[in-house]
Structure 1
Amino acid sequence: MGNLLLASLALGVGVLAFVLRPLWKDAKGTALALALALLGGTAGLYALLGTPDALDPELVEAPKTLEQAIVQLERKLEDEPGSVEGWVLLGRSRASQEAWPQAVAAFEKAHALLPDEADLMIEYADALMRASEDGRFPAKAVALLERAVERQPTHQRGLFYLGAQRLQAGQPAEAAEFWGRLLPLVDAQTADALRPQLAMAREQAGLPPLPEPEPAAAGPTLTVTIELAPALAAKLAEGDTLFVFARTTDGAGLPVAVKRLPATGFPLQLTLSDADGLMPAQKLSMQAKVRLMARVSKSGDAGAAPGDLEAEPVELAVADGAAATLVIGKVVE
């Protein structure tokens, strides 16, 4: 059993090395996303292969290497070809070995079983690109990327790859359009890395220079952690939008700060400051206390609607570094 866990640990490290940096934080609230997260851990193969001690030792021998563990996974998939989680794990395993044709074959099987999952489309397209001799996205990969972003317009990795593909194809204006959509979705560190690429695409397309980023807002910054109650995890869907508001305590007027982002990756942490305000005359920094609210919108609109998911409001004194946690735990009736 120890050898199997070591093999699983090696796979976990490989998968983590394969997963890209902050840009790729696109976990979805679907059953597959949960499976992908679990299978990316150190005991992914252990979970799928089961406990060797409980099996006939003549039929199954505990793997001593990663390759042996993968071979056992392949044998298991012969018996359970409908396991999308197994095919995804096999694809990621082969990707960690840079065995791209084998990774493509595994992701193709997974995609056939779950054709509408955006994350899976992106991984499949990535493997197709890496398996190509010229290092470019083949037509099938481009179609997968476009379909993934059509289904989920804020998919960060999809937007990035489509921008890169368009630049490869000599279409810098379209590259700039995709990367321009991506820029406001990413964190500050990732934005700093993306801006030179976006500026280059705009220059090649003959577009005006990219505006300089706004300076960091003066005044207090609040840190807000958003959690999703486990009982509502199954109600989260692709394309849902998370709104986080800071309002005056009496609820009058527009929010003094608001953020809109994809409803993915819970629990997540964000900040609210004057930079997130809607009206210069009503700033967060002007308030002694605010009421924090969070809502997952099914329509993408800021207003509450039946079926949306929301948290109980929390009041917080406005001070730099003040922090609060909101738990999305009820369905709007």
Structure 2
Amino acid sequence: MVSLPFLLLAGALVVAASFVLAWPLRAQRGLFFGVVVAIPVLALSLYRVVGTPAGLEPAQRETPRTLADAVARLEADLERDPRQAEGWRLLGRAYREQERVGEARDAFARAAKLAPDDVGAQLEYAESRAQADPRLHFDEEATAILERILRDDPRQERARLFLGIARRQAGRNAEAAETWEPLLDRLGPEAAAGLREQIELARKDGGLAPLDRAVAEAPEAAAAGGVRIRVALDPEFAARVRLDPRASVFVIARIPDGPPMPVAAQKRSVAELPLSLTLDDGDSPMPTQKLSQLREVEILARISASGNAMPREGDIASEAVRIALPSSDTVELTLGAGD
């Protein structure tokens, strides 16, 4: 309960303020006392409608000690204001930790409805539908969400992975293999080997010929002068700093000791980290200066709060890595190391 002294003090302050505001009307005694009474009543009514009276309770000011306490606090907050997309996502993750998969799906559904253009919210909702399914299958609605995400941005790797699973579960084996294959040159050796095995099975079940072994074992990115890159946040930095998930992440290849203009670049977001990608000639901003024409490049990543590709004060950059081309290795970039 809110303490009595606090209530008395707050009430006295409101009454005093109402006297000050009504003082110019003192010549009209009826109107004067009417205003003095009306202002506290209106203030209390307005606070109960748009304020957070529960926030005055001591329990609301204490840090939750358990996940159950945090969930209860979040549930109460969302009951007061259900328009918080991020709040519903947090609640969905908490429910998932508690293995309340049906309630997690419903919470993610609320978030997805509130943020229809947020790829992260849509992905979590699609995944939660599969997790809540007794057979762990992606249903038609989840599949439609994944198809829409990939149609808008074919580089969304999680959506591509999930969509391949959804199509495989639905018996659309050839389509599943086709969906997964672009991921092979974006993954590390172990992950690529595991996915390649699943692709071969899907191709076999779909009546397709096996993958060409030369292509499977020597990624086409290297043959075309492309560079495979993996970008991640430094764990200690990620634990200390809260980044805007919408902030831009630029992954850049440039000429060593040359002009700052990149010879290839992609723009992603913090929400996608960690991410794997391939820079190639298709990412070059200058058709006369292609990545495949160079013998050596410098690779780096940078988080830009301004969304500008050119460096700005306050940007968070990785160490630049110099490599010789062509290269079949994956360049590992870490953002925030040493910051």
TM-score, normalised on structure 2?
0.55
| Residue pairs, 1:187-202, within 5 angstroms | 187-202=188-203
CA distance in 2, matches of 1:64, 1:326: 32
Residue of structure 1 equivalent to 2:186: 185
Residue identity over aligned pairs, in percent, reads 31
Higher relative contact order (CA 8 A, sep 6+): 1
Residue of structure 1 equivalent to 2:18: none
State the Cα deviation string for residues 91-133 of structure 1 (Å, max 9, x = none): 0000111211110111111112111111111110111111112
State the Cα deviation string for residues 135-158 of structure 1 (Å, max 9, x = none): 211211112211222232211111
1:283 and 2:295 correspond: yes
Residue of structure 1 equivalent to 2:128: 127
| Residue pairs, 1:84-233, within 5 angstroms | 84-210=85-211, 211-214=215-218
- Relative to structure 1, is the Cα distance of residues 157 and 310 closer, same or farther in structure 2, using a 3 angstrom cutoff? same
| Residue pairs, 1:238-253, within 5 angstroms | 242=250, 244-247=252-255
- Relative to structure 1, is the Cα distance of residues 169 and 262 closer, same or farther in structure 2, using a 3 angstrom cutoff? farther
CA distance in 1, matches of 2:148, 2:335: 33
Letter in 2 for 1:244: I
Residue of structure 1 equivalent to 2:309: 309
Q: Kindly tell me the number of residue pairs found equivalent between the two proteins.
A: 242
Asked if structure 2 preserves the Cα contact closer than 8 Å seen for 1:243 and 1:295, the reply is yes
Asked if structure 2 preserves the Cα contact closer than 8 Å seen for 1:295 and 1:310, the reply is no
| Unpaired stretches in structure 1, ≥5 consecutive residues | 1-51, 285-289, 297-306, 328-333
In structure 1, the residue corresponding to 2:255 is in which secondary structure? strand
Q: What is the RMSD of the two structures over their aligned residues, measured on CA atoms?
A: 4.9
Q: Aligned-pair distance for 1:247?
A: 3.1
CA distance in 2, matches of 1:71, 1:56: 15
CA distance in 1, matches of 2:122, 2:230: 32
In structure 1, the residue corresponding to 2:310 is in which secondary structure? strand
In structure 2, the residue corresponding to 1:278 is in which secondary structure? helix
CA distance in 1, matches of 2:320, 2:135: 56
Deviates more, 1:54-63 or 1:102-111: 54-63
CA distance in 1, matches of 2:92, 2:230: 36
Letter in 1 for 2:205: Q
- Relative to structure 1, is the Cα distance of residues 70 and 283 closer, same or farther in structure 2, using a 3 angstrom cutoff? same
Would you tell me which structure has more helix in proportion to its own residues? 2
